[in-house]
Chain A
Amino acid sequence: MAVTVMGVAGLRRRGVPAMAAYLPGQQVGSLADLERGRPAEVCGVESADPAIAQRLLDLGFVPGTPVEMVRRAPLRDPVIYRVAGYEIALRRAQAACIRIAHAG
């Protein structure tokens, strides 16, 4: 049973204006497909296992948090992301659980 945590992007971060919610022209996708240099924001976490979804939230991937892709491993997996002020490596299977929105 899929567990989805969705939230409208827009928690006010210090100094950073909240992203508007799902304007046309804004794309929603999976963190696994995020390219380097493209700013994005987490908009939800979905996983068949609620424990995994909760763990990703506890790691800081909460709706409204900016996230960026830092680098890939030489064999393309895992990938290092920057979120909530720190860097964390995730395998593709885990990154695919995280829905993101990026402008344009």
Chain B
Amino acid sequence: MSDHCGPADDARRGGLAVDAPLMALVGSPNSGKTTLFNALTGLRAKTGNYPGVTVTRYTGVADTDAGPVVLEDLPGTYSLSAISPDEQIVSATLDRDDAASATPQALLVTLDATTLARSLRLVAQVLRRGLPVCVVLTFSDELDRRQGRLDVGALERALGVPVVAVVGGRRQQLTRLRTLMGAPGEWSRPVVPPPADTEGVSAWIDSVLTATGYSSPELDTRTRRLDAVLLHPVWGTLVFLATMFAFFQTIFALAAPAQAGIEAVFGWLGDQVRARIGVDWLAGFLADGLIGGVGGVIVFLPQIALLFVLISLLEGVGYLARAAFLMDRVMARAGLEGRAFVALLSSFACAIPGIMATRTLPSTRDRIATMMGAPLMTCSARLPVYVLIIGLLVDSDARVGPVGAQGLIMFGLYLGGAVSAMLTAWLFSRIGRSAGPAMPFYMEMPPYRIPSVRSVALAVWDACRGFLAKVTKIILGTTIVLWLLLNLPAPSDATLRAAGIDPTDDVAVSTYTIDHSLAADVGRAVEPVFAPLGFDWRINVGVLASLSAREVFVATLGQVAAATDPEDPAGALAEMTVQDGDRAGEPLFTPPVLAALLVFFLYALQCTSTIAVLRRESGSWRWPAIAFGYLFGLAWVMALLARTIVAAVT
């Protein structure tokens, strides 16, 4: 995990000489800071962690006239009087006496030209820290458009530091900034720093605004008009629901063709390997283990990329703040806030982007609570499992009134997942109440803006890269281990004949191999745990295998069923009978058992990728461990409940 602090480590990661200078970007949220960071560092940015806290660290390499520098994009903050962990990072980084964090050599402070009256408050605090400062004035084009006025030269004199106006990170305008960044030692400093007390700062700002001839911009009529609709009690809610619906449709429908394509490619690859490689076990290992494993992860990519494109666009435009505003009251009932809604929403395709989206929550308590709830949202990995089990449970043409039974059950599972997620988040929010004071809720409503294409592209790239890199290692590893467990020990011909099996009968050989594999041993060993739920060792193997990723359950059961009847695995599944015990001879997949299985998959945390991301985003192993344990226990109890109820009803 890349969670070491210090410019030396950063420099090494950036491939630079160890003594590359460190600069930091400071500014309030919505001030164009991240757009500037992306414009200065481009693809050379990395995501990491501040040790021990749930705050993500963005560093990158920027070119200046004097060579490359390491640029750190500090979390956006309204004040250096910190009340949340990410603000504490900013305050500590800017504190020259704080030995734990590397103090930058110089600061770039983004200042939103349209909100000077408020934004200068942070500038005043930063100037008092005594580090070299260069102010980057953003949105000056918007100031002009809205009939505002500002004398930039006068602002330079009044602040006592260099001021560079930059619009949307345009390449040409960055030239002067890069020149300045090459020589921070030459930057002018304020001869007397601004005062520290609130009233003094207000007086200081007043004087500066007068001296610069600042004329504040007119109301942004475009934003006012859009908000009159988008935040209207009736129309706004309708537009919001429509947006959510379109969101889901897009993620599932639009991503499907790309996913099918990827599956086809990997399937073809697997076939090629099996055809070309003569050594059976090697072919199996490569095709099913490696290629199947990697393919199983990459098939997620279109959904994740699409999800991030949509979310980045909505955020860049400014609509996500409106969505959080509309949903805040509902979320408050669960002890959370509006921004948590956006994070949970993202979890509907995959919990990983949802967990990453908790970065927007200022309160650690909210972040953790939302992270604990996110895995319960019905993610796309559960779909193949649900489809398989529902298919065994009811016929496709079964109806409940006018509605199809299968669709109804699916909807019920989605609803159950969402409600459980909210309840879990509420529970952890309550538990965490003692951990820290309640955070005040405030959220700026920025004007609607056209997002920078580069920022959207970089956000998507960063998310996809992070997903692939961190997660593939784990998925690949576990898939290989599981493959080994299912196929070892490989029985010799002698062993097979002794058991009465013809070594040339592939089906019989695979069945025997699986029945006597290490995985089967494990499956039988945990039977006491799962017996009350009605699972036999084969289901156990499937459940244990799917701890790495839920879709593995389908593949595992498929392997077992195909071993029995390669022509009709589905039929084989339906006809499976219990092998031993007091239910011997009865069908394995009865409605109560199927219900238990469905509910188990609804609750259990069966995704090592999610665990990996929980580890990264929460900064320690504690929370993934708690999530896994808590959700496993909950899954077991609820599955037992489901089995009991369905058995009583049918």
Chain A interface residues toward B at CB < 8 A: 5, 7, 11-14, 49, 51-52, 54-60, 62-65, 71, 73-78, 80, 83-91, 93-94
Contact = CB atoms under 8 A, between A and B. Distances in A.
A91 to B, nearest CB: 5
Given A11-B206, A54-B79, A91-B328, A86 B441 contact: no
Contacts of A75: 329-330
Interface stretch (B40-48, B111-119, B244-252): B111-119
Contacts of A86: 114-115, 118, 444-446
Contacts of B440: 52, 55-56, 91, 93-94
Nearest to B437: A49
A77 to B, nearest CB: 5
B465 to A, nearest CB: 33
Given A52-B440, A75-B330, A85-B216, A80 B117 contact: no
12 contacts: A14-B209, A14-B215, A60-B121, A64-B202, A65-B117, A73-B326, A74-B326, A78-B329, A85-B216, A86-B445, A88-B442, A88-B444
Interface residues of B, number: 44
A5 B198 contact: yes
A82 B586 CA distance: 70
B589 interface: no
Contacts of B199: 7, 62-63
Given A12-B206, A55-B83, A59-B78, A85 B442 contact: no
A87 B114 CA distance: 12
B236 interface: yes
Nearest to B441: A91
A14 B231 CA distance: 31
Contact of A78 (B114, B216, B217, B325): B325
A85 B116 contact: yes
A76 B27 CA distance: 31
Contacts of B443: 78, 88-89
B63 interface: no
Nearest to B201: A62
Given A74-B236, A78-B329, A51 B83 contact: yes
Interface of B: 78-79, 81, 83, 114-118, 121-122, 198-199, 202-203, 206, 209-210, 214-217, 227, 231, 233-234, 236-237, 321, 325-326, 328-330, 332, 338, 437, 440-446
Contacts of B198: 5, 54, 57-58, 62
A73 B81 contact: no
B56 to A, nearest CB: 22
B325 A73 contact: yes
B121 A89 contact: no
Given A14-B216, A52-B83, 14 more contacts: A11-B206, A52-B440, A54-B81, A55-B442, A58-B122, A62-B198, A62-B199, A71-B227, A75-B330, A76-B329, A88-B443, A88-B444, A89-B328, A90-B441
A71 B325 CA distance: 11
**Residue in A54, A56, A63, A89 whose Cβ sees the most chain B Cβ within 10 Å:** A89
**Most central of B118, B199, B206, B330 by chain A CB within 10 Å:** B118
Contacts of B233: 74
A84 B325 contact: no
Contact of B118 (A49, A59, A89): A59
Nearest to B240: A74
A55 B125 CA distance: 13
A74 B338 CA distance: 13
B441 A94 contact: yes
Contacts of A65: 117
A90 B445 contact: no
B445 A88 contact: yes
Nearest to A87: B445
A2 B321 CA distance: 31
B118 A84 contact: yes
Contacts of B202: 11, 62, 64
A74 B237 contact: yes
B79 A58 contact: yes
Contacts of B215: 14
A90 B210 contact: no
Nearest to B325: A89
A73 B199 CA distance: 32
A47 to B, nearest CB: 8
Given A58-B78, A71-B227, A85 B115 contact: yes
B121 A94 contact: no
B484 to A, nearest CB: 54
Contacts of A73: 231, 325-326, 328-329
A59 B329 contact: no
A51 B91 CA distance: 15
A85 B329 contact: no
Nearest to B80: A58
A58 B121 contact: yes
Contact of B442 (A12, A51, A71, A90): A90
Contacts of A59: 78, 118, 442
Contacts of B114: 85-86
Contact of A85 (B81, B117, B338, B445): B117
Contacts of A52: 83, 440
A74 B233 CA distance: 4
B117 A55 contact: no
Nearest to B228: A71
Contacts of B329: 73, 75-78
A77 B328 contact: yes
